[in-house]
Structure 1
Amino acid sequence: PAMPGSRCPVLPVLRWLPRYSRAWLPLDVLAGLAVGLTAVPQALAYAELAGLPLQYGLYSSFMGCFVYCILGTAKDVTLGPTAIMSLLVSSYAFHEPVHAVLLAFLSGCIQLAMGLLHLGFLLDFISCPVIKGFTSAASVTISFNQIKNILGLQGIPRQFFLQVYETLRRIGETRAGDAVLGLSCLAALAGLRAMKSHLPRASPAEPLAVRISSLIVWICATARNALVVLFAGLVAYSFQVMGSQPFLLTGSIPQGLPAFRPPRFSLAAPNGTVPFQSMLQDMGVGLAVVPLMGLLETVAIAKAFASQNGYRIDPNQELLALGVANVLGSFVSSYPITGSFGRTAVNAQSGVCTPAGGLVTGALVLLSLAYFTSLFCYIPKAALAAVIISAVVPMFDAGIFRTLWRVKRLDLVPLCVTFLLCFWEVQYGIVAGVLVSGILLLYSLARPPIKVSEGPVLLVQPGSSLHFPAVEHLRDAVCSRALAASPPRSVILDCCHINSVDYTVVVGLAELLQELRSHGLSLAFCGLKDPVLQVLLSADLEGFQHFPSWEEA
């Protein structure tokens, strides 16, 4: 069923809970289990990517599930750690859990404020080429970041270019066991993903054995991350029992649930205490980049699945849900979370009916923390690296370069600027991409297309609205054509595409009237819309004349 989204201002859960059907329960439970089996191994892997102890991945994976069940407007979306958010945390939290948890709290506060103030429209200023450039660069950097774990190399720096240099320089130090296991896990994950995408849906008319076989294959393909990590852990445990260990292991993970306490606003250091203000300065632009990218990822995923499954979402309510999830998550030592495309896809394909599936996912993560963390110490780092690479490779969109070359080549500029600079520093790539997109947008406002038709008089028609940066361009276009003609010609300005004008435009038009009049020429306006006409009449322009159409003018 399609859950109606969106128009309950505070608690969307009240939209679907009163009419919850018993028939939805098994589907929600199945979807919650499928997502949970994906979330647990990914949580461990993403904590490694963020440069934090592995338990912080699990700490970050349950609160979002519970909060979104109450406040979310999309039945498919699941919140938790993601590859992109982990990459950002790695850049701005300096591998320090106290910084990461505080960043979650502050990001949540910013997201909450944006939701309450209905500032979701600000995300519209981040254009599609910028997003594609960032996600494609993130796919490359995250994948290469994990090559060291696939090869069993240690002490590799995290800066991308140094990482490439050091990995290639030390390729001869590759540990054979890690390399074989890591590549085997990658091959298994790719095979299971391909199997799932080509698996035909079994119809009720088919024999029971066929339907059961199809279900088993579907479960194995859906829970591929858990199966591969489990298999790798069993192999590592077998070697441990035999007294040898050819793999680098994740090591021990503290057992038990995290304490519920507020984030720390200072940090104890060997040479004293780092105060809150210094922590803020250290995070710098991350305080803007992390909450905005979190919002962007969540809203984009929610819109995509809402459109695909026939319901609506409320973007501002999504901001509130994500903000509350991050604020409350920081009380259980979570680092910043956002919507996960991969786990949301698993949720949707599992047939989830309501956000209640998130309760099952959150419960499974809590069970893992309470009882199974002692088993996680046998998981090889190469297996977790394979899980991350398998998750982020589809984020690289090679086709976008060809598409933009065919559709609008100018959009390749912000795409390439973002893509290239993100290899240097993520924040530079995003900020530069947004700035370039903004400059291109402002240029189109400052240089609107102007159509000039020759005749007894010049008919000048701006092709879009007239804003103050464009008034000099309009004056130059009119004067150069009107005065250069032989003999000089009067001008009709067709304003049918102009919806509004500001004071600078009024001043520019007054100067244009005066300049043409000094050469014995006139300027008439036609096709004025009421708001524009009222502004020009109020300005009391000398020699102002207007007509309903250019024929009458």
Structure 2
Amino acid sequence: MVQDMGAGLAVVPLMGLLESIAVARSFASQNSYRINTNQELLSIGLTNMLGSFFSSFPVTGSFGRTAVNAQSGVCTPAGGLVTGVLVLLSLDYMTSVFYFIPKTALAAVIITAVVPLVDTSVVGTLWRVKRLDLLPLAVTFLLCFWEVQYGILAGTLVSTLTLLYSEARPKIQVLDGEGPVLILQPTSGLHFPSVEALRKAVVSRALEVSPPRSAILECSRVCSMDATVALGLSELMEDFDRAGVTLVFVGLQGSILQALLAADLRGVWHFPTMEAAEKFLSQEPGTQPYNVGDESVPEHTVALLKA
């Protein structure tokens, strides 16, 4: 039996969890209450684990049954107990009667219960706020006509891809692109999908021009960074060194400085203010940068890094 299911062993539990959370959030939004996702997942896991000792069917949330309960006025978990008792009694005494109920009648009950959940205004909201968010909505909606499970899985996959796309295309503002020094400001955290986009933005504006010019990365809005980005910055600084210009950083937060130190980067010039960085790059005397690769970092900064 296990061999017959194959990949379904992983897909079925995933679909059950996704469908349960989706229906819980849908009704929570409609009825103005909040759910604890961790609690929902824990209850589903424990229920299925205990049910496995009694050869029960997999336990998940259901859009159709939940909608019918909601339209029937069910407000407490006792509704599940009543439903279970009715199902057991029906299996013993009423199956011969249920045999003659058309499937279309049962479908009509579910459709009637689910229709109030359809909120068409969300389409207009997504169109005005961010049109890309309509893509996972459309994929989920269309594939649900095939199978609800496939629709939820496809929608989750598309949402994940859109998030990765956003991470791979970080927003980088050009604060000064015409002067002798290029000033760029990343406006979000930097993670491995964004390395190439950051490198391209800096190189195309600073090193692929004639003559090459120094650059300042204003990083006050960068609150997180991973090892891949740190290594990418190291390669970028080497490119600047070969071109005979300088790449400096302004406003690095303590966690970012700690990441750069942990990556064993050398020659990372960091300034507390933009004015100090511009003064250093213009070769004016009296300004010394913080080189996070040596002992020139102030004691309070070192203490912050070691905390």
TM-score (norm 2): 0.71
What SS does structure 2 have at the residue aligned with 1:521?
Answer: coil
Q: What amino acid sits opposite 2:247 in the alignment?
A: L
State the Cα deviation string for residues 367-408 of structure 1 (Å, max 9, x = none).
Answer: 444444454345344433432332344555554444433322
Cα distance 1:315–1:344, how it changes in 2: closer, same or farther (>3 A)? farther
2:61 alignment partner, one of 334, 338, 341: 338
Aligned to 1:279: 4
What SS does structure 1 have at the residue aligned with 2:207?
Answer: helix
Aligned to 2:242: 518
d(CA) in 2 for partners of 1:506 and 1:381? 60
**Counterpart check, 1:536 vs 2:264:** no
How do residues 61-210 of structure 1 correspond to structure 2 at under 5 angstroms? none
Cα distance 1:492–1:279, how it changes in 2: closer, same or farther (>3 A)? same
What SS does structure 2 have at the residue aligned with 1:492?
Answer: strand
8 Å Cα contact 1:526/1:548 also seen in 2: yes
Aligned to 2:228: 504
8 Å Cα contact 2:248/2:269 also seen in 1: yes
**Which residues of structure 2 form unaligned runs of 5+?**
278-307
Cα distance 1:487–1:393, how it changes in 2: closer, same or farther (>3 A)? same
Aligned to 1:490: 214
Cα distance 1:417–1:447, how it changes in 2: closer, same or farther (>3 A)? same
Q: What amino acid sits opposite 1:438 in the alignment?
A: T
Cα distance 1:524–1:446, how it changes in 2: closer, same or farther (>3 A)? same
**Which residues of structure 1 form unaligned runs of 5+?**
1-275
State the Cα deviation string for residues 291-330 of structure 1 (Å, max 9, x = none).
Answer: 3333233334444555776766433332233334445557
d(CA) in 1 for partners of 2:156 and 2:20? 19
What SS does structure 1 have at the residue aligned with 2:275?
Answer: coil
Percent identical? 60
What SS does structure 1 have at the residue aligned with 2:236?
Answer: helix
Note the C-alpha offset of 1:468: 2.2
Note the C-alpha offset of 1:482: 1.9
Note the C-alpha offset of 1:495: 1.1
Q: What amino acid sits opposite 2:12 in the alignment?
A: V
Cα distance 1:394–1:289, how it changes in 2: closer, same or farther (>3 A)? farther
What SS does structure 2 have at the residue aligned with 1:551?
Answer: helix
State the Cα deviation string for residues 449-489 of structure 1 (Å, max 9, x = none).
Answer: 11112234221111211112322222221122123566543
State the Cα deviation string for residues 118-173 of structure 1 (Å, max 9, x = none).
Answer: xxxxxxxxxxxxxxxxxxxxxxxxxxxxxxxxxxxxxxxxxxxxxxxxxxxxxxxx
Cα distance 1:429–1:369, how it changes in 2: closer, same or farther (>3 A)? closer
Note the C-alpha offset of 1:438: 2.5
Cα distance 1:458–1:387, how it changes in 2: closer, same or farther (>3 A)? same
8 Å Cα contact 2:206/2:213 also seen in 1: yes
Cα distance 1:412–1:303, how it changes in 2: closer, same or farther (>3 A)? closer
Cα distance 1:392–1:329, how it changes in 2: closer, same or farther (>3 A)? farther
8 Å Cα contact 1:418/1:432 also seen in 2: yes
8 Å Cα contact 1:289/1:427 also seen in 2: no
Note the C-alpha offset of 1:528: 0.7
User: For structure 1, which segment, 467-476 or 533-542, has the greater mean C-alpha deviation from structure 2 after superposition?
Assistant: 533-542
Aligned to 1:404: 126
State the Cα deviation string for residues 323-372 of structure 1 (Å, max 9, x = none).
Answer: 3444555737646542443144246x45x4x5345434433444444444
Aligned to 2:101: 379
Q: What amino acid sits opposite 2:255 in the alignment?
A: P
Aligned to 1:435: 157
Cα distance 1:392–1:314, how it changes in 2: closer, same or farther (>3 A)? closer
d(CA) in 1 for partners of 2:32 and 2:144? 35
How do residues 175-254 of structure 1 correspond to structure 2 at under 5 angstroms? none
TM-score (norm 1): 0.43
8 Å Cα contact 2:17/2:60 also seen in 1: no
Q: What amino acid sits opposite 1:529 in the alignment?
A: Q
How do residues 443-458 of structure 1 correspond to structure 2 at under 5 angstroms? 443-454=165-176, 455-458=179-182
Q: What amino acid sits opposite 1:550 in the alignment?
A: M
d(CA) in 1 for partners of 2:173 and 2:146? 44
d(CA) in 2 for partners of 1:301 and 1:436? 19
Note the C-alpha offset of 1:431: 4.5
Q: What amino acid sits opposite 1:277 in the alignment?
A: V
What SS does structure 2 have at the residue aligned with 1:362?
Answer: helix
What SS does structure 2 have at the residue aligned with 1:464?
Answer: coil
State the Cα deviation string for residues 510-544 of structure 1 (Å, max 9, x = none).
Answer: 22222222333211111111121122234443432
d(CA) in 1 for partners of 2:27 and 2:157? 29
d(CA) in 2 for partners of 1:417 and 1:306? 23
d(CA) in 1 for partners of 2:147 and 2:93? 39
Q: What amino acid sits opposite 2:162 in the alignment?
A: L
**Counterpart check, 1:548 vs 2:260:** no
Report the number of matched residues.
272
